């Protein structure tokens, strides 16, 4: 069986860490190493580590963010395979056995599906959308257009080290950027469509800062367009256009214009996730015009009528 390091970033998650660790330990197979990076927590992790689970805690006295923390864990990992995990998420009892069974000599990356919850209520059974991978033009376009979450992957440690781990200049969306760069190396991969990972979407979670998440993703695009193959620009343009739409919808007009500009420069984008009327307006009048008309349309007509018309 391949050796596996579970690398957990922790910042004041408290009792969530206990559930996280226990989830890795209750199944028939165990990780070979569990590392915890304590990112200057005031609620120290030691009290939430079950006594029967061996872990090694690496503490920072200043808050440096998960990208820095994961790079430290990557440097310290001793196993051939590594899995990054957030302290408030968990795995199914069979997770270790199933991912190890796929981590064979003809594979570099194993992807599993993720289910999300909020206050114990199901949000999404398939957050990553791995079933859509069959329809995608390849793993790299899929990784760019979707968001492969931190706990969705298990990969060779040397592969992560080859791309120099996480981009520490990114405070958010560092996981999206990491997986895009990882799959750009064209790893041999396997997909488990089972929902083997659970994530807790909490109001205080970093990912709930949507402006920061989106602007950091745009920052990542500006780096990636210099690093990825030329054919990836089309997909990056679509992602920038999508980011612009999301920023516009949360009233961040100036930031949205920046994203629209990036999409024009890289593309032009085709706005493939939008309806034909939007695509027509964006193509001939610009994406900002399409967004304003879309906004007026939503305000003018109630949702029930919009669903019937399916025009915009």
Structural contact between residues 66 and 39, judged by C-beta atoms closer than 8 angstroms: yes
pLDDT tier for residue 298 given thresholds of 50, 70 and 90: confident
**Which residues are 39's β-sheet partners?**
60
pLDDT digit string, tens, across residues 31-74: 999 999 999 999 999 999 999 999 999 999 999 999 999 999 99
Q: What angle do CA 274, 125, 30 make, to 5 degrees?
A: 135
152 close to 116: Cβ distance less than 8 angstroms? no
> pLDDT value at position 157?
98
* pLDDT tens figures, 111-168: 999 999 988 889 999 999 999 998 888 999 999 999 999 999 999 999 999 999 999 9
pTM exceeding 0.85: yes
Give the chain's domains with CATH numbers: 4-205 (3.90.550.10), 209-309 (no CATH)
Residue 103 pLDDT greater than 70, yes or no:
yes
Mean pLDDT of the chain: 93
Length, in residues, of the chain:
312
Residue 302 reports pLDDT greater than 80: no
**Which is nearest to 266 in space by CA: 243, 284, 289, 290?**
243
Question: Quick one: DSSP state of residue 88?
Answer: T
Q: Nearest-CA neighbor of 87 among 55, 121, 125?
A: 55
């Amino acid at each position: 069986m391949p050796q596996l390091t579970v690398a957990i970033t922790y910042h004041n998650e408290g009792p969530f860490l206990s559930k996280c660790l226990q989830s890795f330990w209750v199944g028939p197979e165990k990780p070979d190493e569990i590392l915890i990076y304590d990112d200057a927590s005031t609620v120290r992790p030691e009290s939430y580590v079950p006594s029967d689970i061996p872990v090694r805690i690496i503490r920072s006295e200043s808050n440096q963010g998960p990208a820095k923390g994961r790079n430290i864990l990557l440097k310290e990992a001793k196993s051939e395979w590594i899995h990054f995990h957030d302290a408030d998420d968990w795995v199914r009892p069979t997770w270790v056995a199933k991912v190890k069974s796929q981590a064979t000599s003809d594979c570099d990356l194993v992807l599993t599906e993720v289910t999300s919850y909020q206050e114990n209520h199901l949000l999404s059974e398939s957050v990553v959308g791995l079933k859509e991978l069959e329809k995608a033009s390849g793993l790299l376009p899929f990784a760019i257009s979707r968001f492969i979450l931190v706990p969705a992957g298990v990969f060779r440690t040397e592969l992560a080290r080859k791309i120099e781990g996480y981009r520490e200049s990114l405070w958010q969306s560092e996981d999206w950027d990491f997986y895009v760069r990882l799959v750009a190396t064209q790893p041999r991969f396997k997909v488990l469509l089972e929902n083997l990972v659970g994530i807790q979407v909490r109001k205080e979670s970093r990912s709930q800062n949507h402006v920061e998440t989106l602007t950091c993703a745009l920052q990542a695009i500006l780096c990636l367009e210099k690093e990825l193959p030329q054919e990836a620009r089309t997909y990056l343009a679509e992602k920038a256009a999508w980011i612009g739409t999301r920023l516009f919808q949360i009233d961040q007009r100036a930031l949205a214009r920046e994203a629209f500009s990036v999409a024009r420069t890289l593309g032009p984008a085709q706005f493939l996730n939008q309806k034909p009327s939007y695509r027509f307006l964006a193509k001939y009048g610009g994406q900002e015009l399409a967004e304003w008309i879309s906004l007026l349309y939503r305000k003018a007509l109630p949702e029930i009528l919009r669903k019937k018309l399916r025009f915009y």
